[in-house]
Amino acid sequence: MSRPEVSVASLADLALTVAQQAAALVRDHAGRKVEVAATKSSDIDVVTAADRATEELIRRLIHAARPDDAFLGEEGDDVPGTSGVRWIVDPIDGTVNFLYGIPEYAVSVAAEVDGEVVAGVVVDVAKDVVYAGHLGGVATRDGVPVVVRPPAPLAHRLIATGFNYTRPVREVQAAAAARLLPEVRDIRRTGSCALDLCRVAEGALDGYVEEGVHTWDHAAGGLIARLAGARTLVTLGAAGTEAMVCGPDHGFEDLLAAVTEAGFLASVPRE
């Protein structure tokens, strides 16, 4: 028996509703004392009670609306589904910022149909800004369409990156960043992959590269960036883990060559 056709617009609406409710919960937790609940890949890769509570809320809301969908979240077990739809969620992208009270963290909710991300919402929680997009539509910030920055030479581009929580990968990243810095306008490290991708989408950054990312970090933000005129590539990082590159389509090849030469990526990026 064939599955019923899925409405991308309805998935986008649900993603928006869920992400906004989740952001309200994160905001509520931010008003209390935030403490580490657990660690993951290393003793500096932290999880807070807010991460767990927010993902539980998102799972509950999505399951109530679409009980047959699959679910991939950062803080809980993967849940299989039968509908062809999978939700990919990061309850707080930028947990260390959240822990320290730095206003750079986001809720990221994406919907995937048969392996393709079709809808995504990223809420900049502290600033109450909503980035959203779905296939067949445009990328928006608070409902207003956004586009990537116009062409610029590499030396005039502002590039964002991030650092892993394990020492061997971090050492590779630090050396690569040192090699890239003289070639670009400057490098930023904000601490949230999802927000960095949205800032490429809205023209606040010229590019982004980071090794050690996961699907939940970039599913929603990557879609929003592509809808705004960016290209994304998930490939192999120089330290052997998953890496992502994102930049405006018109200058992507130059960016890719620069970050590869600097040592962020394996020598031959794979599509």
> Quick one: average pLDDT of 251-268?
93
65-98 residue pLDDT tens: 999 999 999 777 789 999 999 999 999 999 999 9
Q: At what angle do helices 49-65 and 8-30 cross, to 10 degrees?
A: 150
Element (H, E) at 122: strand 116-124
Whole-number pLDDT of residue 34: 61
Which tokens hold the place of 260? 């590869």
Selection from 124, 101, 110 nearest residue 29 by Cα: 101
Domains and CATH numbers, the chain: 8-145 (3.30.540.10), 154-262 (3.40.190.80)
pLDDT attached to residue 44: 40
Q: What is the per-residue pLDDT across 163-212, written as a single tens digit (0 to 9) for each?
A: 988 899 999 999 999 999 999 999 999 999 999 999 999 999 999 999 99
Q: For the beta carbon of residue 221, count every other beta carbon within 10 angstroms.
A: 34
Q: How much is the average pLDDT of 29-47?
A: 59
pLDDT at 33 over 80: no
Please state, in angstroms and as integers, the Cα–Cα distance from residue 221 to each residue in 18, 120, 233, 270, following that order.
16, 7, 13, 21
Distance CA 174, CA 3 (A): 48
Instruction: Print burial letters for 181-202: b (CB count within 10 Å at least 16), e (below 16).
Output: eeebeeeeebbbbbbbbbbbbb
